[in-house]
Structure 1
Amino acid sequence: MLVADRLTITIDDWTGCYDLAVPRGTLAAMVGPSGGGKSTLLHAIAGFERPESGTLSFEGRDLLPLKPAARPVAIVFQDHNLLPNLNALQNAGLALSPSLRLSAADRAAISAMLEHVGLAGLEARLPSELSGGQRQRVALARAMLTTRPLLLLDEPLTGLDPAMRADMVELIDTLRREKQLTVVMTTHTPEDVDGRADQVITVADGRVVA
């Protein structure tokens, strides 16, 4: 279970204080107004924001002393965070080797994951040669290749048309079930997760309000 207890974060003159419990294996959708603190909470879970106080744990393990790379967390940022000079296979392959010293088995695993997310045959394309939805799928493939049990998705549906949003939610849910992940995703369109999300968390003004 992912648990935050009075996790307090201050950025300039803004303060958020979060209480949260997400059961293991859940697809949790975090909804609420822009600027309400959804992304800030994800970044704190991932280790990119430093809380002032409170506790944060996953499966009983205290996350706060751990640096981002040591946390059992994979995160997909809203802007995809792909390197423009690397192709789709290389960007996804960073999950297995930051130096991109990839074995034949590594490349086969990356190609298989890219095929799994609907990008078969696009391994050699640069981010500039991919659509927004395809870039998001590369980022998702990279996150899935890390094999970390907690997946955080920051607005993964942004910029996608309704049909593509539905496909992306179905893909996330399928991969979550296959890999037995706990997934927390933020979205401005809660209707997109109807029937898929196990838990809907409303965040506003730096608080979990429902």
Structure 2
Amino acid sequence: MGDGLRIEGATLAQGGRRLLSLDAHVAPGDVLTLMGPSGSGKSTLLSWLMGDVPTAFRAEGRAILDGRDLTGLPPEARRIGILYQDPLLFPHLDVAANLAFGLPHGGTRTGRRAQVAAALEEIGLAGFGPRDPATLSGGQAARVALMRVLLSGPRALLLDEPFSKLDAGLRDRMRRLVFDRARAAAIPVVLVTHDEADAVAAGGRVTWL
């Protein structure tokens, strides 16, 4: 197990105005929840962690994941997964191919098919592999998006209000699924939300920006 995610001296500014300053340690399996008004830099901080800060912002500080300094690394080398409000499934691929996209390269075709089938069963969607993503309900699409991220083997997970568009019952189930999987995989999670119920479900530290 690694050391988790350390955020050291992170500052974000836009047009000379400082938006936020943050130091934090998120242990493996723990959740750091970031709350605050729109425009406070919450989502931009997630972009900074991903290595993809919009050009309108200036960012400083270091992010260290499992002892590895991420400074200067491109997004694909950081091994960080992210979920957004929308599932962002590839419309030209069926459900199985969307999941297979998350798998690391290599392995046999049979082995990859078996991994996808097991993943679908785990999220209660056995047999959904050939389905067009457009035919999925919001909750089903959210589960596929989550599993696609997890199949990529991330060492940290970022959540940018991924529950906000789900109805109350689905929201509870998705929260449990996401946080239980993160704990089981011992990966640190950073959650951005406006919903205090998300923060309660996540447990852990809440930081207001």
TM-score by length of 1: 0.85
Quick one: which of 127, 132, 140 aligns to 1:134?
140
> Shift in Å at residue 11 of structure 1?
4.6
What's 1:16 paired with? 19
Relative to structure 1, the CA distance from residue 93 to residue 11 in structure 2 (aligned partners, 3 Å threshold; closer, same or farther) is: farther
> Shift in Å at residue 55 of structure 1?
1.8
Is 1:40 the counterpart of 2:47? The answer is no
Is 1:122 the counterpart of 2:125? The answer is no
CA distance in 2, matches of 1:147, 1:132: 24
> Shift in Å at residue 102 of structure 1?
6.5
SS of the equivalent of 2:20 reads strand
- Residues 143-192 of structure 1 show CA distances to partners (whole Å, capped at 9, x for unaligned) of 11011220112111021111111100110122112211111122221213
What's 1:206 paired with? none
* Paired residue total: 202
CA distance in 1, matches of 2:42, 2:20: 11
SS of the equivalent of 1:114 reads helix
What's 1:26 paired with? 30
Aligned partner of 2:166: which letter?
L
**RMSD, aligned α-carbons:** 2.3
What's 2:192 paired with? 186
Counterpart mapping for 1:34-183 below 5 A: 34-49=38-53, 52-96=59-103, 103-183=109-189
CA distance in 1, matches of 2:85, 2:139: 12
The answer to which of 73-82 and 134-143 deviates more is 73-82
> Shift in Å at residue 66 of structure 1?
0.7
SS of the equivalent of 1:7 reads strand
> Shift in Å at residue 195 of structure 1?
4.7
CA distance in 1, matches of 2:15, 2:126: 44
> Shift in Å at residue 106 of structure 1?
0.9
Aligned partner of 1:132: which letter?
G
CA distance in 2, matches of 1:12, 1:83: 35
What's 1:207 paired with? none
- Among the aligned pairs, what percent are the same residue? 36
The answer on whether the counterparts of 1:152 and 1:184 sit within 8 Å (CA) in structure 2 is yes
> Shift in Å at residue 86 of structure 1?
0.8
The answer on whether the counterparts of 1:10 and 1:52 sit within 8 Å (CA) in structure 2 is yes
> Shift in Å at residue 114 of structure 1?
2.2
Relative to structure 1, the CA distance from residue 182 to residue 107 in structure 2 (aligned partners, 3 Å threshold; closer, same or farther) is: same
- Residues 53-79 of structure 1 show CA distances to partners (whole Å, capped at 9, x for unaligned) of 222212222111211010021112332
SS of the equivalent of 2:102 reads coil
Relative to structure 1, the CA distance from residue 18 to residue 126 in structure 2 (aligned partners, 3 Å threshold; closer, same or farther) is: farther
The answer on whether the counterparts of 2:20 and 2:41 sit within 8 Å (CA) in structure 1 is no
CA distance in 1, matches of 2:38, 2:128: 33
> Shift in Å at residue 89 of structure 1?
1.2
